Structure 1
Amino acid sequence: MKVLITGGAGFIGSNLAKRLLKENCEVRILDNFSEQIHGTNKSLDESLEGVELIVGDIRDKDTVSASLNGIDTVVHLAAETGTGQSMYEIEHYEKTNVLGTLNIIEHLLQKENSVKKIVVASSRAIYGEGAYFSKEHGEVFPTERLEKDLTKGAFDLRCPHTSEFLEPTATKENAAPNPLSFYALTKQIQEQMIIMYSKILGISGYALRYQNVYGPGQSLSNPYTGIMAIFSTLARKDQRIKVFEDGKQSRDFVYIDDIVNATWNCISPERQGVGIFNVGTGIPTSIVQVANLIVKHLESGSEIEVTGQYRIGDIRHNYADLSKAKEDLSFSPNVAIEDGLKKFLDWVTEQPIPQLGFKSSLDELSKIGLLKKSSR
């Protein structure tokens, strides 16, 4: 089986490529080595010897067509992923995430090809706030938090009918999409395009809604994504770690090996069909808890400051319901956050401390009114 991984030089792609080589697949990678993600590095990891590399951009039709030649399965990972950055670099995100996906589909529609399956990396971001539980109304899906509440430091969601505080609960794949950032909107469009055209083309198509992915090998220099990378860099410098809101907002952090396993389960030749799956742990962890774990493990002198700041487009809670993935994809996560975080931080301490442009990224958000301070 010959597999193309778009964005394959990145964190998820390079780890997936290693697995594919072990499964005796032929692997081709298309990547533009974006400086925001890769820094000055323009080469594949040494462990990927034998992988064919095409250096090029997913936005270029001819490059995409060339990369698809002779391919059986496409794993489409190439994307910009910064939630906050997407709110003002709109055209860049649209061209990379939407037009890039369109280039793949148009090739499959218009040109003779051998592609039988396509797997796209979607995101939990398409759910927005996702599912919550009301004592009176059961499962509810709040649309978004109101800025008038955020300004007052009222970060938790209330039932629109009774004003009771809502409890977050696991979100299933059949929840209605409610993207609250432009990034989330592009991921929704990506997955809908892949699912729609897989059916039209009569090929297998899968959209995997990854939760917050972390682990050894992720970019430590990208100031727009990856709070574990950002927090660990600050902790290594003994600098203050600033946590938005009240720190109690939570995410479902999933280790890279679990992501690779779920993705392989879709790529495997035995798997045929069309489907959408959550990929996470099904367990929420608060952001302030992550910060504390990092400081403790690194024995850092960093202080953790809960700032009361909030970003437009951020959600309060979201974590995955894995029932469908367990039943239909034979996927169950194996790595708990305490174990995964230790592996990640052990790797981090072996890396050079990067120059982190996190402050400048926050300044950009503040300048255009996307990062604000509550009165709390």
Structure 2
Amino acid sequence: MEILVTGGAGFIGSAVVRALAAAGHGVRVLDALLPAVHPSGRAPDLPSDVTFCHGDVRDAAAVEETLAGVDAVCHQAAMVGLGLDLDDAPAYAGCNDLGTAVLLAAMARTGVRHLVLAGSMVVYGEGRYRCAEHGDVAPGPRRPADLDAGRFEPPCPVCGTTLAPGLVTEDAPPDPRNVYAATKLAQEHLASAWARACQGTVLTLRYHNVYGPGMPRDTPYAGVASLFRSALARGEAPRVFEDGGQRRDFVHVEDVAAANLAALAALPSRPVGSARAYNVGSGEVRTVGEMAEALAEAHGGPAPVVTGQYRLGDVRHITADSARLRTELGWRPQVPFRTGTAEFAAVVLRPD
């Protein structure tokens, strides 16, 4: 196939591009090289047979030009991370939602009917919880007073007792708890509306905590693994928020790229006018503290420091059930946690 990868110069996007090119697909990249992710403004080092187009998904003319002759779009372009404060809201909505709307409108005009959308587990808010007395429950946002007191676990909304966290499935109701999460959910709704209106097909891959070679250095929008790795590169101890017990599913970027290939291969056999979401996680439940410890040990750096600090927009536990992706698309993660963290601890972080 001839595939357009938006955001193909980014951390995940470039891994997808390399995997597609290695599989023999024709690949073109559209990327704005935004300063928050690419401070140097330089185009990335991509395979020689990949066509790179410097442009923004919010630019209708640039998008339509890159869509000519394309069979499918792999939409990775987005402003990521929790952000610094609500002043970031217009930028998130512009990059993620306006950009997606412009792309979908151009796909409608040019007759491109296959889309793989980079989604995120943040659309769920908190993960799945079970109360011994009241069964499955959905805890509300954690209270600042509890967090200030070091009470990080969300209580049962009915009886206030401690909850047991579990795996969240794609059928869980969305509950976005920050601006970034809200824009990622809006992307899914926009793509679903496009599929119904244009007889298109969209598969959304809800990434969990992606890490691996190619992550950018320490920025306000970087993932936690990159923040820990950046600290170690400076000779500093990784700083772990809360008590380090936050449960996450850390999935290697190569496995995420493989999931994109599986989704693209499945698109032609999916019903037209349909949209379906898939969790993309390793299946290994780990804590944020474990990630910091694994990186510090493999890097030979100072042990992590647990700070007790918190961010109100963060959730306590969110881990994936990726059975749907494994069963329906035949995908399997290949990089175990210990292997991936040892590799990541040794690589040089991307300078820009």
With structure 2 as the length reference, what TM-score do the two structures score?
Answer: 0.94
Moved more, 138-147 or 190-199: 138-147
How is 1:95-244 mapped onto 2 (pairs within 5 angstroms)?
95-109=94-108, 111=109, 113-244=110-241
Q: 1:194·1:206 contact (CA, 8 Å) conserved in 2?
A: no
Q: 2:34·2:41 contact (CA, 8 Å) conserved in 1?
A: no
1:52 corresponds to which residue? Answer: 51
Q: Tell me the number of residue pairs that the alignment of Structure 1 and Structure 2 aligns.
A: 348
Q: 1:11·1:219 contact (CA, 8 Å) conserved in 2?
A: yes
Residue 279 of structure 2 is aligned to residue 278 of structure 1: yes
2:34 corresponds to which residue? Answer: 34
AA aligned opposite 1:116: R
Residue 299 of structure 2 is aligned to residue 298 of structure 1: yes
1:373 corresponds to which residue? Answer: none
**1-side partners of 2:210 and 2:72: how far apart?**
23
AA aligned opposite 1:272: R
State the 1:123 CA deviation.
Answer: 0.3
3-state DSSP of counterpart to 2:83 = helix
Q: CA RMSD in A?
A: 1.8
**1-side partners of 2:106 and 2:43: how far apart?**
27
State the 1:321 CA deviation.
Answer: 0.7
Change beyond 3 A, Cα 1:221–1:244: closer
**1-side partners of 2:24 and 2:284: how far apart?**
33
Q: Percent identical across equivalent pairs? A: 34
1:363 corresponds to which residue? Answer: none
Q: 1:105·1:197 contact (CA, 8 Å) conserved in 2?
A: yes
**1-side partners of 2:186 and 2:158: how far apart?**
31
**Residues 215-264 of structure 1: CA deviation (Å, up to 9, x unaligned):** 11121243321222221121122223221111111211000111011111
**2-side partners of 1:3 and 1:268: how far apart?**
11
State the 1:151 CA deviation.
Answer: 2.2
**1-side partners of 2:167 and 2:115: how far apart?**
27
**2-side partners of 1:298 and 1:265: how far apart?**
33
User: Unaligned 5+ residue runs, structure 2?
Assistant: none
**1-side partners of 2:22 and 2:237: how far apart?**
42
**Residues 148-206 of structure 1: CA deviation (Å, up to 9, x unaligned):** 22122211011112222011100000100000110000000001111221122112111
State the 1:44 CA deviation.
Answer: 2.6
How is 1:78-93 mapped onto 2 (pairs within 5 angstroms)?
78-85=77-84, 87-93=86-92
User: Unaligned 5+ residue runs, structure 1?
Assistant: 356-376
Q: 2:166·2:319 contact (CA, 8 Å) conserved in 1?
A: yes
AA aligned opposite 2:295: I
Q: 1:72·1:114 contact (CA, 8 Å) conserved in 2?
A: no
State the 1:331 CA deviation.
Answer: 1.9
How is 1:327-366 mapped onto 2 (pairs within 5 angstroms)?
327-348=327-348
3-state DSSP of counterpart to 2:56 = coil
State the 1:58 CA deviation.
Answer: 1.3
3-state DSSP of counterpart to 1:40 = coil
With structure 1 as the length reference, what TM-score do the two structures score?
Answer: 0.88
**Residues 24-64 of structure 1: CA deviation (Å, up to 9, x unaligned):** 21111000112221231512315x11111110111212111
Q: 2:326·2:332 contact (CA, 8 Å) conserved in 1?
A: yes
